[in-house]
Homo-oligomer: A and B are copies of this chain.
Amino acid sequence: MPKDLGHELQRYPRTGRFLLGRLRGAMGEDEKQLVEDLIEHEEELAGDGLIVRRGAECSRSTILIEGFARRVIERNGYRHIVGLQVPGDFIDLQAFALKRLDHDLYTLGPVRIGRVSHARLNKVLAARPHLARLLWFSTLLDAAIHREWILKLEHLNAAERVAHVFCEICQRLEFVGLGSKSGFSLPLTQAQLAEMCGTTTVHMSRALRRLREATGVTFRHGKLECDDPAALIRYCEYDPSYLYGPGDLQFSGRDYAD
């Protein structure tokens, strides 16, 4: 929970959540302003639409200002979710280095996004190695989350997996100042939860019931009600350190000293 959230959002209305709760403290005000100024224009998308298609050549990247997004891989007729994004995430900054994404990016409910051209990004980053390193960091955060998902899929059963998803989203929302004690809206269907937990819709329904009975956490119609987050955390033995917030992996230095 950042203490000066109001300040950040007032001063940087579009990118004030970027790296918030993680390395935002290592960004100078000049760097924050540079990032804010990167955004060339804003768009609002209604819901469940494509943001970036796999294989398309990208000349710009997207930052998620409000709302959620999902990373999807489709192949041979099956479709799976391999990642979720929350407000403040620079969701396809990877495309700056990769040029083409290996997966699709879709919105999850209505979103507000900002677009950043790679030409501009390139100019800024060439002149600002420290900022470049911070942006690099932010893309590696996604990789760390991927690793945790691998672990989750290798080790947990269906009910624990979905508990893990809820824990992660709670934590990430808290980082960017959108935490909530009692619950929040998360515009996902059970079918989509199943797609990201490697199970079927039918089984996901049963897993959610089990989770509800064990922890009191209710997920229905895109709303998560969670009176006792600690129970959820206990249920899947959740450890948020991989998100590089406060904790044993935290790197709080104002600068990369090497």
Contacts and interface: CB of A to CB of B under 8 A. Distances in A.
Contacts of A153: 150, 153-154, 198
Q: Which 10 A-B pairs have the closest CB atoms?
A: A154-B198, A146-B146, A153-B153, A143-B143, A126-B129, A99-B251, A119-B258, A97-B137, A97-B136, A118-B258
User: Chain A interface secondary structure, helix, strand, loop or mixed?
Assistant: helix
A142 interface: yes
Interface in A56-71: 59, 71
A246 interface: no
Contacts of A82: 147, 150-151, 154
A140 interface: yes
A122 B132 CA distance: 11
Interface in A39-78: 54-55, 59, 71, 73, 75-76, 78
Nearest to A249: B100
Given A132-B129, A139-B143, A140-B139, A244 B118 contact: no
19 contacts: A80-B155, A82-B150, A94-B140, A98-B251, A99-B251, A99-B256, A100-B249, A100-B251, A102-B242, A102-B244, A125-B132, A142-B143, A143-B146, A146-B147, A149-B150, A153-B154, A154-B195, A154-B196, A155-B198
A101 B59 CA distance: 31
Q: How many copies does the complex hold?
A: 2
A54 B237 CA distance: 19
A98 B256 CA distance: 10
A189 interface: no
Nearest to A59: B258
Interface in A76-102: 76, 78, 80, 82-83, 94, 96-102
Contacts of A253: 99
A61 B244 CA distance: 19
Contacts of A144: 98, 102
A225 to B, nearest CB: 26
Contacts of A154: 80, 82, 153, 195-198
